[in-house]
Homo-oligomer: A and B are copies of this chain.
Amino acid sequence: MDADLVLADLRELARLTGGPDGARRVCWTDEWVTARDFLRSRLEELPVEVGVDPAGNLWADLGEGDEFVIVGSHIDSVPAGGWLDGALGILSAVGALRAYADGQPPLRLRLVDWADEEGARFGRSLFGSSACAGTLELDDVRDLRDRDGERLEDVVARHGVELDRVHESGEQLRGACAYLELHIEQGPVLESRGEPAATVLGTCGVERHVAVFTGQAAHAGATPMELRRDSFAATAQAALAIREIGLSHEGGVCTVGGATSEPGVVTAVAGRTEMLLDQRHLDPDVLATMLSEARDACERAGADQGCEVELRHLWSIPPIPFDDRLIASAREAVQESGGEDTAIPSGPLHDAAEVARAGIPTVMLFVQSLRGLSHTKLEDTKEEHLELSVQALDRLVTKTLDRVAGP
């Protein structure tokens, strides 16, 4: 396909919807509508049929038949985001359709632009894809409010989405033989290995907890060290132990993103500290072990510092492995496009995980992110790597269409 056209489209989208602080294509806002209008303008040049499903996902169909291959991503961004996150996947999917625009693809090829992947306005990511996959709990999201106090249900209604009907979008997957998505890595692994692109093995399972340490608030001047029950000291001890847990499990990550103490002032021993904990691994057994070890570390730290400990569950999702046959095709496609035979798990979640959960064979491609940065205007990828990844997606689409349509 013509990778230059894809890069030109990306730059034009950034010009239309970017600003000095970065991308502003936040879902359910006017600038997201602008981004979608741009997408529609590019699709109008192709012999495709465009529609929006009841969850707000945009679909474009090239070719005919009950069975089809999907290629997609999301055009929405976080506020002050980067120019590639989601947009690369969408505009390279347009490129994949464009490659077949003059003839007929061997199987129907569908583009999807998932609505609200980021969840930037209401805090619930993967809105459109989870609605489509049937995992979105309507009553969990109905009353979510944005910063201005507006309800999710009211806001999506203004964009033609009736919340109680979003699961009807699931019909779109009937006949799907494969789902393919190209995305930036959003992490530093490929750059650290000096590799342009990789196949994604699946998305890691995630365990999110808040560890609550309760000691005794006390005067910082009047309370000798040995008589303290210091909840911040317990948190510090647990956080360091949890870091070691992450280091000790190959492919695992454990993150303490911060802690909030009460009273939380310079003149007092912290009586109560809440510590944020996120753990991820592609192997469900290793993830369970990491969680169990983190629980032990919190209890040991609490005991050492005279604090009570409670681990509150926030959210979790199991690891979602991608399809072996598609992984094999993706590895070939990356190598044929000039990359190495690299396959890594994805720590971040993606719409592809929801599609895979719905039982559709799925695979993703990652392209290197410079300095591992994403969700910032500093997000970038070398042009040669973008080109390579767009070509790899094109090869993967072709391989998949040919294989599924084949004898």
22 contacts across the A-B interface (CB closer than 8 A) = A187-B224, A188-B223, A188-B227, A219-B348, A219-B374, A220-B347, A222-B348, A224-B253, A225-B247, A227-B372, A233-B256, A236-B256, A255-B268, A257-B265, A257-B266, A257-B270, A258-B261, A258-B270, A265-B276, A266-B276, A266-B277, A267-B278
Query: Which of chain B's residues have a CB closer than 8 A to the CB of A266?
Result: 208, 210, 255, 257, 276-278, 314
Query: Which of chain B's residues have a CB closer than 8 A to the CB of A346?
Result: 221-222
Q: Which of A220, A261, A273, A346 has the most CB of B within 10 A?
A: A220
State in angstroms the CA–CA spacing of A326 and B210 once bound together.
Answer: 52
A230 within 8 A of B: yes
Q: How often does this chain occur in the complex, in copies?
A: 2
Q: Which residue of B lies closest to A277 (CB)?
A: B266
A13 within 8 A of B: no
Q: Which residue of B lies closest to A233 (CB)?
A: B243
Q: Which residue of B lies closest to A251 (CB)?
A: B224
Secondary structure class of chain A's binding surface, majority of residues: mixed
Query: Which of chain B's residues have a CB closer than 8 A to the CB of A223?
Result: 187-188, 253, 347, 372
Q: What string of 1s and 0s marks CB contacts (under 8 Å) between A218-241 and chain B?
A: 111111111100101101110110
Query: Which of chain B's residues have a CB closer than 8 A to the CB of A347?
Result: 219-223
Considering only residues 338-393 of chain A, those with a C-beta below 8 Å from chain B are 346-349, 372-375
Query: Which of chain B's residues have a CB closer than 8 A to the CB of A273?
Result: 258
State in angstroms the CA–CA spacing of A162 and B404 once bound together.
Answer: 87
A192 within 8 A of B: yes
Query: Which of chain B's residues have a CB closer than 8 A to the CB of A258?
Result: 232, 259-261, 264-265, 270, 273
Chain A interface residue number, banded: 35 or more
A185 within 8 A of B: yes
State in angstroms the CA–CA spacing of A330 and B295 once bound together.
Answer: 51
Closest 8 CB pairs of A and B: A221-B347, A187-B222, A258-B261, A236-B236, A258-B264, A220-B255, A236-B239, A266-B276
> Given A233-B239, A266-B278, is A218 in contact with B187 using a C-beta cutoff of 8 Å?
yes
Query: Which of chain B's residues have a CB closer than 8 A to the CB of A178?
Result: none
A269 within 8 A of B: yes
Q: What string of 1s and 0s marks CB contacts (under 8 Å) between A167-193 and chain B?
A: 000000000000000000111110010
Q: Which residue of B lies closest to A260 (CB)?
A: B258
State in angstroms the CA–CA spacing of A103 and B252 once bound together.
Answer: 81
Nearest Cβ on chain B to A318's Cβ, whole angstroms: 14
State in angstroms the CA–CA spacing of A243 and B231 once bound together.
Answer: 12
> Given A187-B219, A204-B221, A221-B346, is A243 in contact with B230 using a C-beta cutoff of 8 Å?
yes
